[in-house]
Amino acid sequence: MGDKQSHIFDTVKNYYNNYGLRAKELKGEGKQFIGYVCSLVPLEIITASGCTPFRVRGSVHEPITRGDTLLETIVCPYYRSVFDLSVKGKYNFLSGLVIPHGCDSMVRSFSAWSYGLPFSYFHFVNIPSVCDESSLEFFDAELDAFRKSLEKFTGKAITEEHLRQAIRVHNENRDKVRALYEMRKADPPLISGTELTMTLTAGSSLPIEESNGLFDQILTEVKGRGKSPLKKGPRIFIDGACLDNIELIKLVEELGGNVVADTICNGARDHFPKTEMGGDPISALSRRYLGKINCPKTYRENKAGTFEGDIASRFGDIGAYTKEYKVEGAILYVYKYCDPFGFEVPARKAYYQSLNIPLLPLEDVYSSGTIGQLRTRVQAFLEMIG
Amino acid sequence: MTKVVILNKGIIASIIGPTGPEQRRLANRVMEEALKQAALSIQEITFIVATGYGRINVPFADKQFTEITCHARGIVHLFPEARTIIDIGGQDVKGIKIDVSGKVIDFVMNDKCAAGSGRFIEVIADTLGVSLDTVGDLSLQSSHPATISNICTIYAQQEVAASLAEGVPLSDLLAGVHQSLADRICRMVNRLRVEQAVIVTGGGGKNRGLLQALSEQLGQEILVPEEPLITGALGAALMGKEIVEKARQNNTPLETKERILGAVEIL
Amino acid sequence: MAEEQKEAKPKKRMTATKAAASIGPMVKEFITGTLQAKAEGKYKVAYTFIVCHHEEIFRALDVIPVWTENFAGICGAKRDAERFLQRAESLGFSRSLCTYALCGIGFDQWREELGQMPPEAPWGGQVRPDFMISSGQILCDPRSKWYQASQQFMPDVPIYNIDLPYPLFQENRDHREVLGYYHQYIVKQLRGLVAFLEEQTKKKMDYDRLRELVNLSDRTWNLIDETYKLRRAAPCPMGTGDAMNTMVPINFMMATQKAYDFFVDLKKELEEKIARGEGEVENEKYRLMWGGGLPAWYALNDFNYFNSKGASFPVETTYRMVAPLNEMDLPETKDPIEHLAWRWLGYWTFWYDKAKKRPGSEPDVERLINWIEEYKIDGVVMHEAFSCRTWHVGLIWQLHQLAKIYKPIPVYMIGKGGQKEKVYRELPSLILESDIIDITSYSEVDTRNKIDAFVETLESIQSNRAT
Amino acid sequence: MVFVLGIDIGSAQSKGVILDDQGSLGSFECASGGDFKLTAERMREELLSRAGRSVDDISRTVATGYGSKLVIFADEIKSDIVCLAKGVSSQLPTARTVIDIGDLYTKVLRTDGNGSVHSFILSGKCAGGSGRILQVIARVLQVRVDEIGELSLKSKKRVEFNTGCAVFAETEAISRLSQEVTKEDLLAGLHRALAAQINSLAERIGVEQEVAMVGGGARDAGLVQALKEIRGHDILVPPNPYMTAALGAAIIARESLTIQD
């Protein structure tokens, strides 16, 4: 990064550091924000209802204290932190919260959330664990139930036209994210991983139109750079669940690596798949969220009959991204106590090996206290591939 | 411990000194001694590489590398056939996998818990009032290793003290402690798919009791360098030498710090 | 991994009933049966999971189920899981994941590598399956991931992953609004299972036989419910320690005559004990509820330790996988598959209506409250197993909520002014922390100290009782 | 007149109290050492000499703590949970939550004014969240354990400190010092992190006010202050907070005599 910080990145930083700033402002103007965790909540339905989806975040800097009253410490530390901040009142400006069936901890803690927080609206979206025709039909019905529950909450009908319009703006948002990722293809990339993750995180706290506007400004800014502010270094890919604090990515970049692509929840996993336009909007959404979001939570049948064939189909998107972004090394960052990702670690390792991409697997506890430990591992890894 | 290796064509000085709260000043002092041994002044040193836990605290180092890279480099220099390295230090235990060309291809490190590190044995030896140099040989005299059921070092310390009071022989306790540590280490390095030759380095390489427990649990023969404590420093020196040679080849200037060995004030 | 040390064998647990004592040999026979079936090759064997409530489908097609969680539990109970857990860790799985799954994967990988059973495999070992039936229930991520992970080592063994969701309790919603499409989905998933099994076994489903088996297990459900309710008697004739054994016919043998007969015998035994005034504990002082969590299988002796302090366990929320069918209000249907789907939904939503009526309650809390009353409970014991989120997340919240809405114990205590006053005290509770099969997480000394302190607590509350 | 003893053999320190019908006649504290039996004997002798009594005068002895099973002359052994509740209730009858920070374990319990326990929780499988870490740090900083509280309170800018492992806290402290962090700020960081960990444990059984802190850790003013800040309310500390379990044991001994009468 150059000495001169641009104005627009200051805005991003501000939204990132004071997460929820804009929501608090807009709440004063009568806007309702609906919180959500996990990439599996269909945001378009919230937008179509006239409310604004708001991704609830954790903090690696804040020790978990209050949350432990109501939630066991055997839950993944990321989710514990999100819960802890919530019960401490950090997100009290929200009007409601939607939790999907992303993992066991989300299911088992739904009551703790819905009884423990002062929001007037709570909803649980059940997500099938398998992806076949009958699951999609079921999911259509489940999303329709979600739509109805929001209608009841807002007292306004959510029409097909509302849904189509919401799908359109969310797809636009995804196009802009893609365009931002394009900026990473240069070597060195025009935008750092730290800047990009901060931008996307800030975006997930804004109404979708504002998020679109912000991304446009960032794009203009980055394109205007012409020359990269970064040094050449190993091109690193980040794999894992939700990484909504930039510490790891920042660490990689401080140590001389450039984060150029990812498949994290608040990155490509969430932002790349688009919703089909035309046809029934609910059905299009169910196909996007169940079919296209590549989350380990969803079981996909091994049709190849071999292990190699199976991982090639399950993790094919990773292979495509690593090629597209000319990746030289990958970090698989998994939280302790995360069953969906944890059980895939050996298979993912094998897949990276088949791609001939060196991999650094990390198991971490979502606390800035572990940065020292991570530093040695990341530095050694960069030395190893450099 | 702070170690210094000075390299020319071969090793011309190698010194091991203690590491205390005042790492920087000690790095100074150990450096001074090494220079004395080599009969060199600091200005005559072409390039300095620091590694290890305190690598960022060495003010006169021109470059820092992690101990993983340096241990691997040092070990491959001593044992070209090495494929698996287990470095057992006081802070960390590391497993490193090396390919045929001597390149690091994978590594694992222990978590921030003393149970799987050399500190475990240091603490227990201290509790039992045995010097660290003798724990290995003492434990080899045991025929009935005790079971250490606690994982936490502090709890294990308490457990060992209680067993000793109950009359469990010292050698059995130490053998149990070595098995417990070997178990933790094996669990970790097994993730690398251990291949021959297996080299153990770091302080743990000097402990025969631990080496035997490790060898049994891994089901592999283990090789140990003659001076296991300095392989990291040796590797760092070798890395430095490469940097110098590369710069000379490409005719590029070397980026070095000022060669000053003044004492550093610590708050 | 030359050193695959086994833990010292635990002392044999004392059971309160003859029925519970007969379970060990039954399980052994069952496992030997799977090995034999595989050797003979006449029937297909399938890896699968308990509490999916569709075992009738397997049995109607003569598929032999291999309950992989059970095998891991056996390894745990025999204190011989560590070597398999370590193997899984070496393969790159974190120890923080479900240890049942880790044990199973470690065992399978070893068996596949050797081409035969690992040395000294517990009770002859776990047989190589012909196929695997995963179950993406609403709960238990490891069930969806376990067999997928095992497939790395046996890629030729196909998986059918059946999705069996149920509507989660939501305070602001009547679950009946959504039951229709849940039912439709489950029926389709079950029919998919039938089709998969037909293809694998090359047999056609005999729906008359299926109907009979469903009828048999329905009758067994009701019988289990009646039998377990006998434990309301004081002194309680059978405790949770025994129930951790009698869960075997409930979970592994449903839809067999043997399971039905087992409960006929158990019911009779309990009735006789009650008539004789014989309890699980000789001098019953405290009645405790096992309020959540799977047990530490290597430490079932802890139940005896509780017993030795005069504490009995008349009821547990774990492995009591039945609810009286006549109270479930299931829609009539002649189609056994449709019935299975309704029974599934009826089981999971059984407490929903009751929970709605009590502010602050939810189904699991409601069950606690009801059983505290029905079984006259003095304290709640829970186990938090670090590796299992499925059954162990939400327990402390339930206790918290229970304390908020249920304060039944009047005691005297000293208030701010130094005066004695009568107040209502929440039910005392104890949370034990360790794991289902990872013995390294367990400390007998610590656990027994906790139990001692808990019993002293019960004692002091009894002596301060206001009435 | 009856005389009773309460003896608490902890993993690091042993504590004892001698009571008569009126109240305490004296207390004694010493290092537990390696031989708990011997320590218990010595404890009894010291207490008797302080009260000017002989062994035969003692009607009842209750032992508690880590090494309680080795107090062979005890009439009864009680868990420290119950003794703590009893001890706190006698000194601070309004306390409803008691946090005991010992050398190896941290314990939290909920009680009423009678000394009945309603629920409790102990720290886990590792000494990371216990008082041991304070001793470790004191050694690194070359200060006495009883000085660290005052030092910590002088901090103006506490550092972020990780208290994962009590053994590695030492090396973490060393590396922080080498990053030019002051002793005061380091201690304040440690106290904050430890207090957060302790609070988190306490929250798991729910905290009811008022809250009392006892055990060796309660002697550390820095730790008490850190916990106050995290909880946002006052915390009671009885005089001689490390004696609480021994006092409770003695009270239990006396009470059981009254009941027998």
Q: What is the CATH number of the domain that holds A147?
A: 3.40.50.11890
Determine the pLDDT at residue B244: 94
Which chain C residue shows the shortest CA-CA distance from B148? C440
Split into its structural domains, chain D has a count of: 2
Would you place residue D252 in the very low, low, confident or very high pLDDT band (cuts 50, 70, 90)? very high
CATH code of D30's domain: 3.30.420.40
Judged on CB neighbours under 10 Å (0-12, 13-18, 19+), B102 is: middle
In a domain, D52, yes or no: yes
Say whether both A116 and A197 belong to one domain.
no
In a domain, D85, yes or no: no
Task: Domain of residue A224: give its range.
Answer: 186-385
Q: Do D93 and C411 touch (CB under 8 A)?
A: no
Region C194-200: what's the mean pLDDT?
A: 98
- Position A324, amino acid: E
Say whether both A149 and A197 belong to one domain.
no
In a domain, A180, yes or no: no
Split into its structural domains, chain C has a count of: 1
Would you place residue B1 in the very low, low, confident or very high pLDDT band (cuts 50, 70, 90)? confident
Mutate: best of A65, A80, A87, A375, partner D, most D CBs <10 A: A65
Question: What is the per-residue pLDDT across B78-92, written as a single tens digit (0 to 9) for each?
Answer: 999 999 999 998 878
Residue-averaged pLDDT of chain C: 92
Say whether both A150 and A203 belong to one domain.
no
Determine the pLDDT at residue A2: 44
The whole-angstrom distance between A34's CA and the closest CA on chain D is 28
Name the helix (H) or strand (E) containing B70: helix B67-78
Is D261's pLDDT higher than 70?
Answer: no
In a domain, D87, yes or no: no
Q: How far apart are CA A235 and CA A225, in angstroms?
A: 20
Token couple for B65 = 């590398």
Say whether both D142 and D194 belong to one domain.
yes
Split into its structural domains, chain A has a count of: 2
Would you place residue D117 in the very low, low, confident or very high pLDDT band (cuts 50, 70, 90)? confident
In a domain, A173, yes or no: no
For residue D62, give every residue at least 6 positions away whose Cβ sits within 8 Å of its Cβ, in sequence order, or none.
D4, D5, D6, D7, D74, D75, D76, D77, D78, D83, D249, D250, D252, D253, D256
Determine the pLDDT at residue B266: 36
Q: How far apart are CA D120 and CA C428, in angstroms?
A: 9
Judged on CB neighbours under 10 Å (0-12, 13-18, 19+), A184 is: buried
Percentage of the residues of chain B whose pLDDT score is greater than 70: 95
In a domain, A1, yes or no: no
In a domain, A170, yes or no: no
Q: How far apart are CA C265 and CA C272, in angstroms?
A: 11
Region B113-127: what's the mean pLDDT?
A: 86
Determine the pLDDT at residue C415: 65
Q: Is the dihedral of CA B171, B173, B177, B182 positive or negative?
A: positive
Region C66-80: what's the mean pLDDT?
A: 95
Say whether both A370 and A245 belong to one domain.
yes
In a domain, D86, yes or no: no
Q: Give the residue with greater pLDDT, B119 vs A13.
A: A13
Which chain B residue shows the shortest CA-CA distance from C85? B187
Would you place residue C416 in the very low, low, confident or very high pLDDT band (cuts 50, 70, 90)? low
The whole-angstrom distance between A229's CA and the closest CA on chain D is 29
Residue-averaged pLDDT of chain B: 87
Identity of the residue in B105, B107, B111 whose CB atom sits nearest the CB atom of A380: B107
Place of tokens 């309004």: D94
Interfacial residues of D (vs A; Cβ cutoff 8 Å): 160-162, 164, 172, 175, 193, 196-197, 199-201, 203-204, 206, 230
Say whether both D46 and D3 belong to one domain.
yes
Say whether both A201 and A348 belong to one domain.
yes
Is D234's pLDDT higher than 50?
Answer: yes
Q: Do A369 and D161 touch (CB under 8 A)?
A: yes
Mutate: best of C145, C151, C390, partner A, most A CBs <10 A: C145
Task: Domain of residue D222: give its range.
Answer: 93-237
Q: How far apart are CA A358 and CA A331, in angstroms?
A: 9
Any chain D CB within 8 A of the CB of A367?
Answer: yes
Say whether both D232 and D247 belong to one domain.
no
Determine the pLDDT at residue C4: 41
In a domain, A176, yes or no: no
Determine the pLDDT at residue C87: 92
Say whether both A368 and A229 belong to one domain.
yes
**What domains sit in chain B, N to C, each tagged with a CATH number?**
2-68+230-250 (3.30.420.40), 81-224 (3.30.420.40)
Q: How far apart are CA C73 and CA C33, in angstroms?
A: 18
Any chain D CB within 8 A of the CB of A373?
Answer: no
Say whether both A145 and A218 belong to one domain.
no
Render the burial of D223-247: b for 16+ CB within 10 Å, e for the rest.
bbbbbeebbeeebbbbebbbbbbbb
Region B138-149: what's the mean pLDDT?
A: 89
Q: Do A367 and D162 touch (CB under 8 A)?
A: yes
Any chain B CB within 8 A of the CB of D182?
Answer: yes
In chain B the first and final C-alpha atoms are separated, in Å, by: 21
Identity of the residue in D34, D126, D166 whose CB atom sits nearest the CB atom of B161: D34
Determine the pLDDT at residue D101: 93
Q: Do A138 and C177 touch (CB under 8 A)?
A: no
The whole-angstrom distance between D199's CA and the closest CA on chain B is 21
Determine the pLDDT at residue A97: 98
In a domain, C412, yes or no: yes
CA distances from A88 to A66, A116, A122 (A): 7, 10, 18
Say whether both A267 and A140 belong to one domain.
no
Determine the pLDDT at residue C2: 35
Judged on CB neighbours under 10 Å (0-12, 13-18, 19+), D52 is: exposed
Is C417's pLDDT higher than 70?
Answer: no
Which residues from chain C sit within 8 angstroms of residue D118, using beta carbons?
A: 425-426, 428, 457, 461
Q: Do A376 and B67 touch (CB under 8 A)?
A: yes
Is C161's pLDDT higher than 60?
Answer: yes
Geometric angle at alpha carbon B10, from B4 and B12, rounded to 5° = 45
In a domain, A275, yes or no: yes
Any chain B CB within 8 A of the CB of A384?
Answer: yes
Any chain B CB within 8 A of the CB of A379?
Answer: yes
Task: Domain of residue C347: give its range.
Answer: 20-463
Q: How far apart are CA C378 and CA C372, in angstroms?
A: 8
Which residues from chain D sit within 8 angstroms of residue C454, using beta carbons?
A: 120
Is the omega angle on the peptide bond into residue A188 within 30 degrees of 0, that is, cis? Answer: yes
Region D7-19: what's the mean pLDDT?
A: 93
Any chain D CB within 8 A of the CB of B263?
Answer: no
Please, are residues B3 and D159 in contact by the beta-carbon 8 Å criterion? Answer: no
Say whether both D117 and D201 belong to one domain.
yes
In a domain, C396, yes or no: yes
* Alpha helices, H only, C42-81: 55-60, 68-77
Q: Which chains touch A (3 or more CB pairs under 8 A)?
A: B, C, D
- Position A300, amino acid: R
CA distances from C34 to C76, C80, C126, C248 (A): 20, 20, 8, 16
Please, are residues D106 and D204 in contact by the beta-carbon 8 Å criterion? Answer: no
Say whether both D220 and D257 belong to one domain.
no
Is B265's pLDDT higher than 70?
Answer: no
Mutate: best of C154, C389, C390, C404, partner A, most A CBs <10 A: C389
Q: For A199-208, C116-125, C454-463, D95-104, which range has the lowest pLDDT when averaged over its residues?
A: C454-463
Say whether both D28 and D133 belong to one domain.
no
Is the omega angle on the peptide bond into residue A25 within 30 degrees of 0, that is, cis? Answer: no
Please, are residues A70 and C400 in contact by the beta-carbon 8 Å criterion? Answer: yes
Q: For A324-338, C36-50, C400-414, which range has the lowest pLDDT when averaged over its residues?
A: C400-414
Local confidence pLDDT in tens for the 386 residues of chain A = 444 457 999 999 999 999 999 999 999 999 999 999 999 999 999 999 999 999 999 999 888 888 888 899 899 999 999 999 999 999 999 999 999 999 999 999 999 999 999 999 999 999 999 999 999 999 999 999 999 999 999 999 999 999 999 999 999 999 999 999 999 999 999 999 999 999 999 999 999 999 999 999 999 999 999 788 899 999 999 999 999 999 999 999 999 999 999 999 999 999 999 999 989 999 999 999 999 999 999 999 999 999 999 999 999 999 999 999 999 999 999 999 999 999 999 999 999 999 999 999 999 988 887 887 788 889 989 998 88
Which chain A residue shows the shortest CA-CA distance from D124? A73
